[in-house]
Amino acid sequence: MGNLELIVEKHSERIHHGLEVLPTLRHGLPAGLGNKRWTAELILATYEMALTGELPKNGLEYKTGDSGGGFDVLGWKNNGFAKIDQNTVDLSIELNKREEGRKIEIPLPIYGGGMSFGSISLNFMLARARAAKKIGTYMSTGEGGYPDAIVPYRDHVITQVATGMFGVREETIQYAPIVEFKYAQGAKPGLGGHLLADKVTSEVAKMRESSMFTSLYSPFPFHSVYSVEDHKKHVDWIKTVNPRALVSVKVSTPTDVDMVAIGSYYAGANIIHIDGGYGGTGAAPEIAKKNIAMPIEYAIPKVHDYLVSEGVRDQVVLIASGGIRTADDIAKVIALGADGCVVATAEAVAVGCTHCGNCERGRGCQVGITTTDPELSQFIDPEWGETRIVNLFTAWSKRLRSILAGFGLESVRDLRGRRDLLVR
């Protein structure tokens, strides 16, 4: 074994060991770790769940962060409900409620959000794809193309079609059980995407059919879509190329998000995916993350109520994302009115992300998640990553079942829109 391999092995082992030791609090709570949304405790609790598949037992806070609003100020009512056996609770949701089209169910109300090849390492992408396959759910390619290495997992991979059309090819649409149109993303609503030059390696450039080490922009908006009718043409295009695919429409959360949702429904979308501003994994201007478009907590009830009032709520799936960190967040998302949710950052935390936000600096992520650096990428072994993500989702399932059983609900579908079960 050469020195480079030894160095990678040494640091991989050390990092993996640290992810086991830190949640024990043997060395205390790391002072510089975390922030108001992802607190140190929440990060360590996620490490612990990713390690064991169980909820933390040493008092680490695993339910909420410390942001002072939204999910972090919502709690659960805790009396007057006839409990049921947790093992009887069904967490599955369907992803197509229309009469026509393929019927798809996922066993948890969760699938993985778009993180593009180039913004994340191939190994992390593979870990996510493997985990999605094992769980029976999905992960999205993001807008960076469809590397050959994930083709074996294609029955669990959502192909994203976004404004830059990077890597969108006929076969990648034909592979997909679900095609996701990304009109906007919560972390940079209305601003398109931006992959900084340092990350555009030869592999990334080849995949995106661009030049090496040149910044790549996804424009905003789709310049072929300025109306619901234009959007319908997009949906028709996908359904022509792949008639079996379900269509998801990912949008941000403007004041008229309810109108956007109903428009998407009438254009033929199976899934309306609303993405709030407080999530996101890619590089984004700080001003956009904090200030543009409403947080997902406020958008979900607005969209849900409007779809109900229009009489179409039971014909379309509402998926929410953007700052969903815990099982409790997932349950709150559903109680507020969504059918399920999309997570991405939590998967990254499961494999060692510290939420430090230095993804775009220098060589990229120091633990091999958001990087194209060939050495750093090796810190994530796809099999190890798969296990960690599956474990996290397993622990979350236990918490979700516990919440539902506490309210006497037999299915997560019965939680949808039950704001009466929440307190603030």
Q: Is 183 among the residues that bind other proteins (CB under 8 A)? A: yes
Binding mask 211-230 for other proteins (x = CB under 8 A): ------x-xxxxx-xxx--x
| Interface with other proteins in residues 360-399 (CB under 8 A) | 360-363, 366-367, 370, 376
Please state, in angstroms and rounded to a whole number, the distance separating the CA atoms of residues 140 and 161. 10
Q: Which of residues 81-110 bind other proteins (CB under 8 A)?
A: none
Residue 259 tokens read as: 């109108």
Give yes or no for a contact between 156 and 174, defined as CB atoms under 8 angstroms apart.
no
Token pair, residue 154, equals 């294609």
The rounded distance, in Å, linking the Cα atoms of 53 and 50 is: 6
For residue 295, whether the previous peptide bond is cis, meaning omega lies within 30 degrees of 0, is no
146 binds other proteins (CB under 8 A): no
Round to whole Å and give the CA distance between 15 and 330. 28
Site string for other proteins, 46-75 (x = CB under 8 A): ---------------------xxxx-xxxx
Q: Does 348 bind other proteins (CB under 8 A)?
A: yes
List beta partners, residue 247: 179
Closest CA to 218 of 116, 320, 150, 371: 116
Rounded to a whole number of angstroms, the minimum distance from the CB of residue 339 to other proteins is 17
Integer CA distances (angstroms), 257 to 189, 273, 305, in order = 12, 11, 12
Query: How many chain residues are in contact with other proteins, going by CB under 8 A?
Result: 106
Alpha-carbon distance 411 to 191, whole Å? 38
Told to check if 36 binds other proteins by CB under 8 A, we report yes
By CB under 8 A, residue 359 contacts other proteins:
yes
- Residue 406 is a binding residue for other proteins (CB under 8 A): no
Query: By CB neighbour count within 10 A (0-12 exposed, 13-18 middle, 19+ buried), where does 225 fall?
Result: middle
> Structure tokens of 105?
């169910």
Q: How far is it, in rounded angstroms, from Cα 315 to Cα 336?
A: 18
Which residues have CB under 8 Å from 211's CB, separation 6+?
Answer: 200, 205
Residue 260 within binding range of other proteins, rule CB under 8 A: yes
19 binds other proteins (CB under 8 A): yes
Please say which residue, 15 or 55, places its beta carbon nearer to other proteins: 15
Among residues 254, 310, 402, 413, the one that binds other proteins under rule CB under 8 A: 254
- Site for other proteins contains 202 (CB under 8 A): no
Instruction: Compute the Cα dihedral for 141, 166, 348, 182 and give only its sign.
Output: negative
Q: Across the strands, what pairs with 250?
A: 182, 273
Binding flag, residue 140, other proteins (CB under 8 A):
no
**Can you tell me the distance from the alpha carbon of 105 to that of 102, in angstroms, rounded to the nearest whole number?**
10
275 binds other proteins (CB under 8 A): no
Single out the segment in contact with other proteins by CB under 8 A; choices: 30-38, 89-97, 126-134, 170-178. Answer: 30-38
Does residue number 419 form part of the binding site for other proteins (CB under 8 A)?
yes
Determine, following the binding rule CB under 8 A, whether residue 244 of this chain makes contact with other proteins.
Answer: no
Q: How far is the CB of 192 from other proteins (least distance, A)?
A: 7
Name the residue nearer to other proteins (CB basis): 162 or 191: 191
Q: How far is the CB of 413 from other proteins (least distance, A)?
A: 20
CB of 154 to other proteins, least distance (A): 27
Write down the least CB distance from residue 215 to other proteins, Å.
Answer: 10
Site for other proteins in 283-342 (CB under 8 A): 283-295, 297-302, 323, 336
